[in-house]
Structure 1
């Protein structure tokens, strides 16, 4: 399997070779950031609930 270039050296490469360039990559990055944000918020709420329960002597 060879690279889809006319030349077999890096000297002939002038354009972008990243396959995802100009595609839907920003959408997926945004969704990943959104998932991380949701995980942080839910984790913070859980830890606050657990801390309050331990502080009040409830298990």
Structure 2
């Protein structure tokens, strides 16, 4: 991955630098969303099980 500018030092760099330049950013964003979705689903299942157990007096 190359930098999107030509400069010999950081003194010549101005403006915003996009860290995802030339990378597979869409893949990693999709993977992060998938992990969040799995966490929400598993958390929901756990809370439903715990709520049902508390409602029925089970521990």
TM-score, with structure 1 as normaliser: 0.71
Displaced runs of 4+ in structure 1, greater than 6 A?
Answer: none
Larger RCO (CA within 8 A; separation ≥ 6):
2
Q: CA-atom RMSD, angstroms?
A: 2.7
**Unmatched 5+ residue regions in structure 2?**
none
TM-score, with structure 2 as normaliser: 0.71
**Unmatched 5+ residue regions in structure 1?**
none
Q: Aligned residue pairs: how many? A: 53
